[in-house]
Structure 1
Amino acid sequence: MSLRMERGFVDVLAKDASEGDDAMRMGQIVCACPASLPRAQITDNRLTLAAGFGLAVLAQALVLTVLPEQSRLIAPTIERVGWPFALLLVGAALASFPAALLVDSFGRRAAFGLGASLGVAGGALAAFSIAKGNFFGLCLGALWLGFAQGFALFYRHIAAQGAPRDGLVVLAGGAGAALLAPLFVSLAASPGATLLAASGLHIGALALSVRMPHVIAGAASKSEWRLTGRFILATVAGALAWFIMSAGMLHGPLTLAVCAATPAFIGGAMGWHLFSMYGPAALAARWPAFFPPFAALAGGLAVMLAGWGAVHAGASTVNVAAGLLAIGVGWGAANIGAIRLLHEGARPSRAALAFHDLCLLGAAAAGALIV
């Protein structure tokens, strides 16, 4: 009986194999997992991306409120005051290619979850280092916070794959978050508590990352790696904008502190500075015709140079705060132009986007160290 059953089973398999290629075959492995999500469900989550980016921007605002002044207080020499801020940007630059690679290989959930985890650890380490007066621990914590920021910056490229306007929506998510910075600074009783609050915000970003799709539904339809004129212009102009922005972010809070501004005033100035950086993206997402890419790049850089002049002069706290606002508005306009140049028409590959971010963040690190 056993032999007859075995022969019958083999006959059935042979019959199924003869019915076509789609039939079950002996030794065939069939996946019992649910079918992949439709592309619309994978890419249509720009609000989640905007929320995750907003949490990262708010955490960045809190870090930038206390990092320059605390670096000045515990740095062994005056030449090393800019190290933590520069390492924050170096970490973001170093994360560019890993972010692109992990998003492609392991999906958004794993990539952005890893970035947020590094932010949690970096904020906690920076807070501990300030409490102990450990300058090199503060540098390491800033580096980890930079890694988290580098991963978060890739949110805009992921969203812009569907449409360049979606990338602007993600950037606009940082505008609303930046307005909450003064509230968080006022609630925190010390610089260490402010950094712990930044660490907590990265925990929120980690919680959001697990709600993202695990996989990517393919690359953009027209992805290329060759260096086009639009790509080179967006990268060079964007690098100049990040260079000026970085110099302003480092020298602005330090100048305000030297002018005896209160921590609440410094936190408010940095919050409005970050709001001015991402606010123009909200207008561009609504009225893109008012932000042609070439005019946005040129006008943004001109406004940034004027703002840097006000910050560098340091005539008064009001002038420095106004200069920071001008730098933010110009940076926002320049990045709108860069995103439109990158993602309209034939779109660059993820490796090209990672190289673009590496150039921008490398220029920002240079601005923190050189200027």
Structure 2
Amino acid sequence: MSVNLDDLVLGSASQDEDGATAMRAGQIVCACPASLPRADITDHRLTLAMGFGLAVLAQALVLTVLPEQSRLIAPSAERVGWPFTLLLIGAAMASFPAAMLVDSFGRRAAFGLGASLGAAGGALCAFAISKGNFFGLCLGAFWLGLAQGFALFYRHIAAQGAPRDGLIVLAGGAGAALLTPLFVSLLESPGAMLLAAAGLHIAALALSVRMPHARFGKPGPVERRLSRAFVIATIAGALAWFVMSAGMLHGPLTLAVCSAAPAFIGGAMGWHLFSMYGPAALAARWPALFPPLPIVGIGLAAMLLGAAAVLSAASVASVTAGLLAIGMGWGAVNVAALRLLHEGARPSRLALALHDVCLLGAAAAGALVF
């Protein structure tokens, strides 16, 4: 069938020889052939997992140096936790824009925007520590937090197809965390680590153009009310993020005070992040081993034990073990929360944004309280 330009403009109501209905006035179609077959523009779990993994690796490099650099250039001891807290506040503030932009402007634009903010934030943090500018460090950390808020939506996007797909995306963070010790050993200075984090966000920006613009297929029913499962997932997740942020802030500082080498601190944070996302890989492979409600209790108990070990600061070994326990407990709770959210009726995008705001707000409170 050939399409005449006049028909496109005037919208003829006639039929062609094959009986196909011609275009009508006001009808909007794409007259250009698709550049990719339909199978190549539907959801890619691997692409989503890689994008999330790049964000996790960038986060690991930032967290390796941010607490210690904050301590060195902060004007007073009370402000040491400000950059880390602003990172979490930025992530919380990005939750609603991420939810809106993913649906309104498409995934490529939304995740590309988040990665751009991360690249700018990493570069600004590197510049700030080279000049001893605490305000610049706070602003750069805030931008990095905005990028993390966008990156957290990778798991929700994947889980819209099936909860297991969301777990696979979370498992991508475990693979990325294993690369942290290698990056730390190659990048000796804090500034180089922050610039590398900016480069990883640029790589995520390049990867975002390979993502589908939107999800194909008819979406499932949307739950308009806050269900019991949503409330349990949000409260348990908030508790887990509260404890995790306190451990992430005080763990590297305590290891530095205990005279641990920077390479050891970077390795410890890498294994901490691996323990955070490792349970998702196991849950994706053996979901029967992770019943949501029992796993919530087990995970929170493990986190409390780990937090006690970190706060006691008895030795380098005990602090490291505490970080690993916090990470595994956090991973278990978030696996359970993801299943509670996405098994059954599909949560609305506002509900998902509210869930992430509660989690990240609790994380910011954990960084401020301890």
Aligned to 1:5: none
Task: Note if 1:90 corresponds to 2:89.
Answer: yes
Structure 1 residues 118, 359: closer, same or farther in 2, change over 3 A?
A: same
1:215 CA drift (Å): 2.5
In 2, the alpha carbon distance for the partners of 1:365 and 1:14 equals 60
Taking every aligned residue pair, what percent have the same amino acid on both sides? 79
Structure 1 residues 35, 247: closer, same or farther in 2, change over 3 A?
A: same
Count of residue correspondences: 359
TM-score normalised per structure 2 = 0.93
Counterparts of 1:19-34 in structure 2, within 5 Å, are: 22-25=21-24, 30-34=29-33
> Does the 8 Å CA contact 2:43/2:212 hold for their aligned counterparts?
no
Counterparts of 1:191-206 in structure 2, within 5 Å, are: 191-206=190-205
1:355 CA drift (Å): 0.6
In 2, the alpha carbon distance for the partners of 1:14 and 1:177 equals 56
Task: Note if 1:112 corresponds to 2:111.
Answer: yes
1:308 CA drift (Å): 0.2
In 1, the alpha carbon distance for the partners of 2:13 and 2:209 equals 45
Counterparts of 1:53-64 in structure 2, within 5 Å, are: 53-64=52-63
Task: Note if 1:272 corresponds to 2:271.
Answer: yes
In 1, the alpha carbon distance for the partners of 2:43 and 2:29 equals 29
In 1, the alpha carbon distance for the partners of 2:171 and 2:156 equals 14
SS of 2:166's partner is helix
Structure 1 residues 30, 300: closer, same or farther in 2, change over 3 A?
A: closer
Counterparts of 1:276-287 in structure 2, within 5 Å, are: 276-287=275-286
Aligned to 2:213: 214
In 2, the alpha carbon distance for the partners of 1:38 and 1:194 equals 39
> Does the 8 Å CA contact 2:13/2:21 hold for their aligned counterparts?
no
Deviation beyond 4 Å, 4+ runs, structure 1: 12-17, 25-30, 35-43
In 2, the alpha carbon distance for the partners of 1:328 and 1:84 equals 21
> Does the 8 Å CA contact 1:84/1:142 hold for their aligned counterparts?
yes
Aligned to 2:335: 336
In 1, the alpha carbon distance for the partners of 2:324 and 2:113 equals 32
> Does the 8 Å CA contact 2:43/2:215 hold for their aligned counterparts?
no
Describe the superposition over 1:77-96 as per-residue Cα deviations: whole angstroms up to 9, x where unpaired. Answer: 11100000000100100000
1:32 CA drift (Å): 1.3
Structure 2 portions without partners, runs of 5+: 1-10
Structure 1 residues 246, 34: closer, same or farther in 2, change over 3 A?
A: same
Counterparts of 1:67-146 in structure 2, within 5 Å, are: 67-146=66-145
Describe the superposition over 1:159-186 as per-residue Cα deviations: whole angstroms up to 9, x where unpaired. Answer: 0011100000000000011011111111
In 1, the alpha carbon distance for the partners of 2:20 and 2:338 equals 46
Aligned to 2:303: 304
Point out the structure with max Rg over C-alpha. 1
Aligned to 2:253: 254
In 2, the alpha carbon distance for the partners of 1:98 and 1:367 equals 23
SS of 2:161's partner is coil
Structure 1 residues 308, 36: closer, same or farther in 2, change over 3 A?
A: same
1:98 CA drift (Å): 0.6
